[in-house]
Amino acid sequence: MIQLNNGVYEIGGIPVSQLAEKYDTPIYIYDTGIMERQYNLLKDAFSGTNTRIKFACKALNNINVLKFFKKIGVELDTVSIQEVWTGIRAGFDPKKILYTPNCVSMEEIELAVKEGVQINIDNISILEQFGHKFGSTVPVCIRINPHIMAGGNEKISTGHIDSKFGISIYQMRHLERVVKSEKIRVNGLHMHTGSDILDVDVFLRAAEILFEAAEHFPDLEFLDFGSGFKVPYKPDDYFTDVKELGAQLTEAFKVFCKKYGRELELWFEPGKFLVSQSGTFLAKVNVIKQTTATVFVGVDSGLNHLIRPMLYNSYHHLVNVSNPEGKQRLYTVVGYICETDTFGWDRKLSEVREGDIIAFQNAGAYGFTMSSNYNSRFRPAEVLVHKGKDYLIRKRENMDDLLRNQVEVEMGG
């Protein structure tokens, strides 16, 4: 997260220009101070319940970030066996890792069972296979689809009626029969309605659905409400009021637990909320190109490094950190990939010159983890800023990395 201090843009107290010069561009930079601030906001908001916060590591899976979260008390949410293995390598107790895959094979789920993590299943076919193999010997969480549209964007909403995620609430009778016939021990219920939820009432409506479903399962230990907390992307942007949500959901949860007959754990699995604001992506201006209608700023990056604006139409606030006092002008910022990779149309930036550094804010979530080698471009370096010091946590790729797994063969004829 960049801050302007005495005319100099800084990240965690370190001048951005210093970081760009030391590590070159393009580059992802993460501030642990912001990560810890976001965790404390959630922890404080739900302090009235037995709450466990699990970082959705698909958002930012560098092992150093995982180690930092483990150090401050965060647990882990994973969606693949590879994320499970990375979490274990980072030192997490498998019992504190939630594994929530989607459309994976039973063989992968069995690998996760061997690691001893909490299994979360979101379709009846796999649940039947799981029950047939493990019965009551391995507890399982079940992901429910509450059929609630969250966030207003179908690309990041996962709880609506056409979503591939979760078991429909309208299949509850079928679900109950499968659980009973296979003697499955259900120790948790889970839902995740999607990202960028503004309205606290969306959480509360979904909570009532989950509470009602929970009454059919007598051996529950926890309810997992996923995440979806919105962070601000623009100046004066809207965001989820987690303090208000914490107060209202805590009250509703306590009422439910009293009715259920014992106190359960309340789980959340934020990704974007914990790391989005911590991340800044830096790119250098290669060229200023003026057409009859637009002034383009072409940078040394593209959709291969930050695909969210093209994939989700997401907004990332852009700042020319090299010219903080410059006159405001209108630019369209684009990448160097041989595709239409526009980062932002008609953005007001301090006058941009070739060689300037453009900072992309809110780049900590789903930036590097969704990057690629498209156009045979190298993926960028990653740097962690912690207590005023900067640490290289991923080297910039080179040609050896690009060709490492390619096999050169001699083809006859």
Closest CA to 99 of 91, 284, 116: 116
| Interatomic CA distance for residues 195 and 174, integer angstroms | 29
The question of whether 338 is a catalytic residue gets the answer yes
Kindly report the number of other CB atoms within 10 A of residue 277's CB atom.
23
Strand-pair category, 357-360 with 279-290: antiparallel
| Interatomic CA distance for residues 95 and 78, integer angstroms | 12
- Containing H/E element for 83? helix 81-89
DSSP-derived letter for residue 355 is T
What is the separation of C-alpha 370 from the centre of its chain, rounded to a whole number of angstroms? 10
Strand-pair category, 295-299 with 279-290: antiparallel
Catalytic residue among 57, 103, 257, 338: 338
Strand partners, 229: 197
Kindly report the number of other CB atoms within 10 A of residue 182's CB atom.
17
Q: Would you call 383 helix, strand, or coil by DSSP?
A: strand
Q: Which residues are catalytic?
A: 338
